[in-house]
Amino acid sequence: MRYLPLTTQDRSSMLATIGAAAIDDLFVDIPEEARLTGPIHGLPMHAPEMAVERHMKALASQNLVAGDVPFFMGAGAYRHHVPASVDHLIQRGEFLTAYTPYQPEIAQGTLQMLFEFQTQVARLLGCDVANASMYDGSTACWEAIGMARRITKRATALLSSGLHPHYVGVAKTMARFTGDALVHQAPSLTPETDIAGLIGQIDKNTSCVVVQYPDILGRVDDLSALAQAAQAAGALLIAVVTEPVALGALRSPGEMGADIVVGEGQSLGVGLQFGGPYVGLFGCKQKYVRQMPGRLCGETVDAEGKRGFVLTLSTREQHIRREKATSNICTNSGLCALAFSIHMTLLGEKGLRGLAEVNHAMAVTAAERLEKIAGVKLLNSSFFNEFTLVLPKDARSIVRALADRKILGGVSLGRLYPEEADLANGLVVAVTETATLDDIEAFATNLEELLA
């Protein structure tokens, strides 16, 4: 067995050193009636690399690969080109096979990277500080709601109708157990988000308003008035960004006054991966830093006065505070944070702005082409790289039919909101730099045919 270095001879000599006659002498604490004496029946035995590879490749080949077809899906997971050096660097064993940096003297590589990541994320989101990552955007969003409860000592969260339905789902699951009240309704097919309506719902019990930017339908709206209204009522504004590339073109939520900004960082460096692992981004205003969940990396000096980095403010965390911790999170998403950070470093400000510009221009081009199709209406008055089309019939069946023609043509609102009949004709279309003009034309032509 190729991963196990002990030989039979090693095993016997080690048992002799230990003073045990047989390996089962070391397992005497497992009650005999429950102890298994041989391999579990009905499961295959060990296999060489080639056999395993054959099996896994056979499974992989049953999936339609996004990069092989015209691809226009988003809704919380975006396909961007990841430069070759990103994947090369994250596979360096010193990053890949390191642990959480509890021994800072021999973990400066991870720690400095996290400090750089925190700074990049804070600047991108427009926040004073950011943490060293969360599991993903959806769990970061829930953690932000919990943080707002701790800060405001109120327990009613107002969720915008444009918040990703899975993020809403996670919050609903958790709120049922923590006693938070959530105010939420499904979106309506309007060109703009209902900021005024949201403001009207803020009251003295509101802990936070959670708003996605751009929202699930791709709409972008100024959050400044919402931030002011929330803060005037003693509540916090939490902004959720599922497409960080958008912030290369759009004003950041922090700039518009958001108190906490969370996001999904998957777009940069991480790839689609069928939904995970991803990387949650979490930033906030300086004054709330001690209520933040998750790991934080901070600058300090060593005994010789050299700059170095350590995990810090761990008195918020479970391994110190146990049942009084700000969250139960231990492992986060370090390697995905590294991928995000490397990709962001390769881009730099110029590259990120350029990438955002290409994304927006491709999306505008696609929207203009698609809305020419008879019966198809473009919903959004504004958008970044994702917009909603209203089709003349059920979008879910169209998406399936497009997939049969080897086109992954967006995410139907029927998939996201199965219980909302009013939304059934909605189709959310994302267009990134990975799409070509030919892809757009193929999508449009096939959609035209299917709707004819």
Partner 1 sequence: MSMNNQGRPTRPAEDSAASPAFATSTGNRALMLEEALIFEIGDANRTGVDLPEAPKAASRLGGLERKSAIGLPGLSEQETVRHYTRLSRQNYAIDLGLFPLGSCTMKHNPRLNEKMARLPGFADIHPLQPIHTVQGALAVIDELGDWLIKLTGMAGVAMSPKAGAHGELCGILAIRSALEARGDKRSVILVPESAHGTNPATAAFVGYQVEDIPAKPDGRVDVDALKARLGPDVAGVMITNPNTCGLFERDLKIISDAVHEAGGFVYCDGANFNAVVGKVRPGDLGVDAMHINLHKTFSTPHGGGGPGSGPVVFSDALAPFAPLPFVERSEDGKLALIEEESMEDHHASSFGRMVAFHGQMGMFTRALTYILSHGADGLLQVAEDAVLNANYVLRSLEDVLDAPFGAAGPCMHEALFSDNGLADGFSTLDIAKGLIDEGFHPMTVYFPLVVHGAMLVEPTETESKAALNQFIGAMRSVALRAKQGDPSLHSAPHFAPRRRLDETLAARKPVLVWTEPVAEQAEAAE
Interface positions, 186-215, toward partner 1 (CB under 8 A): none
Q: Is 335 in the site for partner 1 (CB under 8 A)?
A: yes
Residue closer to partner 1, measured from CB, 116 or 208: 116
Backbone angles phi, psi at 232, to 5 degrees: -65, -30
Q: Using the rule CB under 8 A, give the single segment among 66-74, 148-156, 194-202, 203-211 that binds partner 1.
A: 66-74
Token pair in block for residue 337: 């944070």
Select the residue interacting with partner 1 from 144, 155, 237, 352 (CB under 8 A).
352
The CB density around residue 27, as the number of other CB atoms within 10 Å, is 11
Q: Is 346 in the site for partner 1 (CB under 8 A)?
A: yes
Binding mask 5-34 for partner 1 (x = CB under 8 A): xx---xx-xxx-xxxx--x-xxxxxxx--x
Determine the Cα–Cα distance for residues 64 and 272; give it in Å rounded to an integer. Answer: 13
Select the residue interacting with partner 1 from 228, 231, 318, 445 (CB under 8 A).
318
Select the residue interacting with partner 1 from 144, 167, 241, 269 (CB under 8 A).
167
Residue closer to partner 1, measured from CB, 204 or 301: 301
Q: Using the rule CB under 8 A, give the single segment among 2-10, 202-210, 227-235, 443-451 that binds partner 1.
A: 2-10
Select the residue interacting with partner 1 from 282, 288, 384, 443 (CB under 8 A).
384
Please name the amino acid found at residue 82.
V
Q: Is 325 in the site for partner 1 (CB under 8 A)?
A: yes
Write out the binding residues for partner 1, residues 292-311 only, by CB under 8 A.
295-304, 306, 308-310
Least Å distance between CB 449 and partner 1?
18
Select the residue interacting with partner 1 from 194, 365, 405, 424 (CB under 8 A).
365
Q: What are the Cα distances from residue 452, in Å, to 277, 376, 377, 391, 445?
A: 40, 11, 15, 12, 11
Across the beta sheet with 377-378, what order do the strands follow?
377-378, 386-390, 426-430, 411-412
Least Å distance between CB 202 and partner 1?
22
Do residues 244 and 267 touch, judged by C-beta distance below 8 A? yes
Q: What are the Cα distances from residue 4, in Å, to 8, 38, 182?
A: 11, 18, 51
Q: Using the rule CB under 8 A, give the single segment among 136-144, 153-161, 203-211, 233-241 that binds partner 1.
A: 136-144
Burial of 431 (0-12, 13-18, 19+ CB in 10 A): buried
Q: Is 395 in the site for partner 1 (CB under 8 A)?
A: no
Determine the Cα–Cα distance for residues 17 and 22; give it in Å rounded to an integer. Answer: 12
Residue 78: which of 434, 444, 391, 370 has the closest Cα?
434
Determine the Cα–Cα distance for residues 159 and 171; give it in Å rounded to an integer. Answer: 9
Please name the amino acid found at residue 419.
E
Q: Is 421 in the site for partner 1 (CB under 8 A)?
A: no
Q: Is 451 in the site for partner 1 (CB under 8 A)?
A: no
